[in-house]
Amino acid sequence: MTSSLRREPTLLAIAWPIFVESGLQMFMRIADTFMLSQVSDDAVAAVGVANQIIQMAMLVLSFVAIGSAVVVSQYLGAGRESELGRLAGSSVGVNLLIGAALSILVVALSGPLLGVFGLDPALFGMARRYLFIAGGTLFVQAVLTALVAIIQSYGYTRQTMLVSLGMNVLNVIGNCFFIYGLLGAPKLGVAGVAISTAVSQCVGVAVHFVLLRKATGGVPVLWRYFVRWRAEHVRKVLRIGIPSSAVTLSYSASQFVILAFIATLGAQMMTTKVYTQNLMFIVMILAQALGRGGQILVGRKIGAGENELAYREVFANLRRSLLITLVAVSVLCLARVPLLELFTRDREIISLGATLLLLGFLLEPGRNFNVILEKALQAAGDAKYPMAVSIAVTWLFSLPLAYVLGIRLGYGLIGMWSAFVVDEWLRGVILFFRWRSRKWEGKALVRRGSRDEARTQAASM
């Protein structure tokens, strides 16, 4: 076992900063919305619509980051740190190219893209101004996304969390200048929000490059690595990243369909869904953080050839994460009515929302079960299997079930939530048996080699 594995942090030590960082990312959006709301409701609506396009673009940017995280973890486990400078350069360079292409497309097609939403001329103009800046700087977000994923794979999750905190502070300060005209700065409205976000991201990129040098132990990430990619590295990153991102894209698309179902039930049901999921979001990002932390640990063991340790690690992580999730759901449910009353005084919405939150005792452990196993299989190099399971179960079983229970049989949101419960547990159980079968063994992207092999690899750089 390598020294890096002996010093390996615990699941909680890795996961809690990822959880906080995810919350900070959500807070940045909330802060933008709140500060704009003090100026104009129309401005809030314009930014909200434009951000739908930005968020879809960011899903595309995520596949290199996901793949890079797994590959870096395995290389660390295999003791091949000397290659990681070149690997990081290739990953960042590929995502920069994709981000630049998306920036050009979003700016060039801003009119047609926003035209889909049928905005009135005033809102359209504001949304387009925001999109020119936020969309035009997607290449910065692309670099940032790749850097964060790589650095976190080294276990530097607290450091990336602190950088995210600093970016939030910069964003709020920028908003004060460009929204409220602090110290005589021009009041730029939605354009000011976009500028503040872009500036904070640029600063974040600069700091993350410093962190990358620290994480790699001084292994240089030379500028030429960003344009001279090693085909082997890119192939491995895409092998994990593309199927892993397909899972996220499939989920996002299915949520649009679910929204269409709920829209037929009326505005009150739509409002209940929004409030309930906003409250449950904290538990959802907890599951993602635990899954990501487990992925880093499992990836290192797979790279080191410690398959038996990786096998047992996943079951230990399942026990820990399910307990943490149940505690979080319990706290949320105990305060479910007061929390819902922060959003509304409508007793029907509060009553139904409280019932849906109670269903979280079934839904969220299932989501956690599914996420932990999905991330573990990805860490082992077996990314195509969870992709196939997710797409097949969601579109061939879960969505039809949600329609039947929620719409045809008239159970509304409770019926749809029941379908969500079945969906998460069914996918989780299938992935559980895949992990138990150990068919993921032999799919590792890199194996621990001899010293001579490591020297050969280093010399080829």
Average pLDDT estimate for 89-93: 87
One-letter amino acid of 220: P
Exposed/middle/buried for residue 342 (C-beta within 10 Å: 0-12, 13-18, 19+): exposed
Calpha distance 330→333 (Å, rounded): 5
pLDDT at position 2 is 40
Average pLDDT value over all residues in the chain: 85
CB-side neighbour CA atoms (13 Å) of 30: 7
Express each pLDDT in 329-346 by its tens digit: 999 999 999 988 887 788
pLDDT at position 169 is 92
pLDDT at position 165 is 92
The encoded tokens of residue 458 equal: 């280093």
- Fill in the DSSP letter of residue 10: P
Above 80 in pLDDT, residue 223? no
pLDDT at position 189 is 80
Band of pLDDT at residue 5, cut at 50, 70 and 90: very low
> What residue ranges do the domains of the chain occupy?
7-229, 247-437
More confident residue, 296 or 263: 296
Calpha distance 65→69 (Å, rounded): 6
pLDDT at position 3 is 39
pTM, two decimal places: 0.82
Express each pLDDT in 374-401 by its tens digit: 999 999 999 999 999 999 999 999 999 9
Above 70 in pLDDT, residue 404? yes
Exposed/middle/buried for residue 92 (C-beta within 10 Å: 0-12, 13-18, 19+): buried
pLDDT at position 461 is 44
CB-side neighbour CA atoms (13 Å) of 288: 14
Judge whether 246 and 330 are in contact, CB under 8 Å. Answer: no
- CA dihedral for 268, 274, 280, 284, sign (positive or negative): positive
Give the chain's end-to-end CA distance (angstroms, integer): 26
The encoded tokens of residue 40 equal: 């104009």
One-letter amino acid of 439: K
Average pLDDT estimate for 194-202: 91
Highest mean pLDDT among 114-118, 185-189, 210-214: 210-214
pLDDT at position 356 is 93
Above 80 in pLDDT, residue 26? no
> What count of residues does the chain have?
461
Band of pLDDT at residue 4, cut at 50, 70 and 90: very low
